[in-house]
Chains A and B, each alone.
Chain A
């Protein structure tokens, strides 16, 4: 509880400053709406926002799940099949320098306007942190325990399931947390590509109407959504990681 108090106070303080500034300076509200304006816009748009938020949440969770699955699969394959890691890993890193926004139109050309290209966008931004973190964790199990396992007759499968995999979990969760945040970002970009509903779609419409207040509402929803998914991952981590490893964040 104590931990939450200082940041909460900071946010409240900033909001008050913001409110005061907009009131005193008399800045146009279509340029910079006050927190009060934003709140009013939120209340006004509640019902519409609910549908859009639901759509974005669904897309995000689906994409996140697919991205994580892909990331884990890539990590395990690169770890287990000798030689593949050296051949593929550098390419994987280079591939991350291609901005997702740049590939997105191409995906639409290939996959049309359905859910497929949107999922691919999210998978593209999510799988990398998961794959890299997990791969790193798999390769870093304690040497003394590894020696002990070998001398006690552990085979390759046992080494993987009993040592490397559990040892990689803390690293994997670090990757999952990054991917959780990226997944919302990916979903918004995916919706910009063209979609019927979703917060991303809503933002495009509001941008054309110069409704800064509603854009702020959309941003706030994105932040809350990202925090919620992050929280879910954190919860899963707490439930999964036992022993000393749980102390790391």
Chain B
């Protein structure tokens, strides 16, 4: 049973066709990435999976159950952090749990524990406007993780981080994932990031997006940072770059 199974999914906003006949699969405990041009419909796909939008056509199932139009099934990190400016960082982190019926106070301890793991100890009582963009992204990331769902959808989670911090977050994300083995669907603009983290990578075309190619990433787990120097890695990176730049309109 797949954590997420999307089949022949299409979506249009009025006359604007955004997704066209998308099929993809995230197996139990798999890490799957999507790369694609800006505006191709990646965030829209997440909105469909999260039940915010209903697709024009096609099927979505989460954990084997029909999930079209059903909300509250995934841990979600939106492209913009979307933190509540009036809530402290710890209270923002526990929001998704709170929606699931857990008391704020009970969840706070866990939130603080995780905050220190992402280098945000001492910020539990701060407010979002006191944090940098990258720090806010990490908070939004924790909020998705602590939603405690089997499937986690991350929409460009590390786009606002510098290269050093990004590498650190990759290491950290892989650690958590290798320990907990949740199923992750991950959108990124960085081919290198996708190859470094994923079991498989889907390449989307320009709008209306279709799946141009699905690439299996063959490297062992746990992955080491040196994998980027591996000839296979370099070849795959070349190939994906070519696919993306040559992507037909």
Using a CB–CB cutoff of 8 Å, the interface residues on chain A facing chain B are 142, 144-145, 147-154, 158, 162-163, 166-167, 169, 241-245, 247
Residues on A with C-beta less than 8 A from B83 are 145
Is B72 at the interface (CB under 8 A from chain A)? yes
Flag if B71 contacts A152 (CB, 8 Å).
yes
Flag if B84 contacts A163 (CB, 8 Å).
yes
Given A158-B99, A242-B127, check contact A151 B50 (CB 8 Å).
yes
Residues on B with C-beta less than 8 A from A242 are 86-88, 127
Is B128 at the interface (CB under 8 A from chain A)? yes
Is B78 at the interface (CB under 8 A from chain A)? yes
In the complex the two chains form, what is the Cα distance from A162 to B88 in whole Å?
Answer: 13
Flag if A151 contacts B47 (CB, 8 Å).
yes
Query: Which residue of B73, B76, B86 contacts A243 across the interface (Cβ within 8 Å)?
Result: B86
Q: Which residue of B lies closest to A163 (CB)?
A: B84
Interface centre among B73, B78, B99, B128 (most CB of A within 10 A): B99
Residues on B with C-beta less than 8 A from A245 are 85-86
Residues on B with C-beta less than 8 A from A244 are 85-86, 127-129
Interface centre among A151, A241, A244 (most CB of B within 10 A): A151
Is B122 at the interface (CB under 8 A from chain A)? no
Closest 10 A-B residue pairs measured CB to CB? A153-B72, A151-B50, A243-B127, A244-B129, A144-B82, A244-B85, A243-B85, A243-B86, A145-B82, A148-B82
Interface size class of B (residues with CB under 8 A): 20 to 34
In the complex the two chains form, what is the Cα distance from A21 to B167 in whole Å?
Answer: 75
Residues on B with C-beta less than 8 A from A147 are 47, 52, 78, 82
Flag if B71 contacts A153 (CB, 8 Å).
yes
Is B195 at the interface (CB under 8 A from chain A)? no
Is B98 at the interface (CB under 8 A from chain A)? yes
Residues on A with C-beta less than 8 A from B127 are 242-244
Residues on B with C-beta less than 8 A from A142 are 82
Residues on B with C-beta less than 8 A from A144 are 78, 80, 82
Is B208 at the interface (CB under 8 A from chain A)? no
Query: Which residue of B74, B84, B88 contacts A145 across the interface (Cβ within 8 Å)?
Result: B84
> How many whole Å from A148's CB to the nearest CB in chain B?
5
In the complex the two chains form, what is the Cα distance from A225 to B49 in whole Å?
Answer: 57
Residues on B with C-beta less than 8 A from A241 are 86
Is B51 at the interface (CB under 8 A from chain A)? yes
A-B contact pairs, 13 of them (CB 8 A): A148-B78, A151-B47, A151-B71, A151-B74, A152-B96, A153-B73, A162-B95, A242-B127, A243-B85, A243-B86, A243-B129, A244-B128, A247-B129
In the complex the two chains form, what is the Cα distance from A234 to B83 in whole Å?
Answer: 26
Residues on B with C-beta less than 8 A from A154 are 71-72, 99
Residues on A with C-beta less than 8 A from B14 are none
> How many whole Å from B125's CB to the nearest CB in chain A?
10
Residues on A with C-beta less than 8 A from B50 are 150-151
Q: Which residue of A lies closest to B83 (CB)?
A: A145
Is B147 at the interface (CB under 8 A from chain A)? yes
> How many whole Å from B79's CB to the nearest CB in chain A?
8
Query: Which residue of A151, A166, A247 contacts B84 across the interface (Cβ within 8 Å)?
Result: A166
Residues on B with C-beta less than 8 A from A169 are 86
Residues on A with C-beta less than 8 A from B248 are none
Residues on B with C-beta less than 8 A from A151 are 47, 50-52, 71-72, 74, 76
